Copies of this chain bind each other. A is one copy, B any other.
Amino acid sequence: MKLISQLSKETGVPIGTIRFYEKTGLFSGETKKEITTNKYVYYGDDVVEKLRFIQMAKAVGFTLSEIKEVIDVWYKKEFSKKAKIEVLNRKLSEIDEKMRELKAVKKQIALCKFNIENGIG
């Protein structure tokens, strides 16, 4: 269990961003009930895992609300098995679509490079 600055160092995500994510419901830390003098929040390894997932998903164009959808079915229990599988299957096909788009962009750039290297265009 780590405090927010430690979590920030471990993941590279700024403290302000971590607080913002927590406020939007992407994850939550916990306060130790045995400590009554402060309101310090502790984060477990599940939060590290979620932050890494968020960073990767954001890098490939998913929005925070799209990411939240996955995290919700992943960690929460208030969804039926059927509903969870449906969400995940939808995400998997969105990923396949992104894979195709990424390949198309790569192809376009590679062609552009080829043309420049060979003095065409």
**Contacts from A to B (Cβ < 8 Å):** 53, 56-62, 70, 73-74, 81, 84-85, 88-89, 91-92, 95, 97-99, 101-102, 104-106, 108-110, 112-113, 116-117
CA distance A61 to B99 in the complex (A): 12
> Which applies to chain A's interface (DSSP): helix, strand, loop or mixed?
helix
Complex Cα distance, B53 from A100, in Å, reads 13
A102 to B116, CA, bound (A): 29
Q: So how many copies of this chain end up in the complex? A: 2
Give the top 6 A-B pairs by smallest Cβ distance, nearest first: A61-B61, A56-B101, A88-B113, A60-B102, A95-B106, A59-B101
| Bound form: Cα–Cα A101–B102 in Å | 12
Contact call B109/A92, Cβ cutoff below 8 A:
yes
Q: Do A74 and B106 have beta carbons less than 8 Å apart? A: no
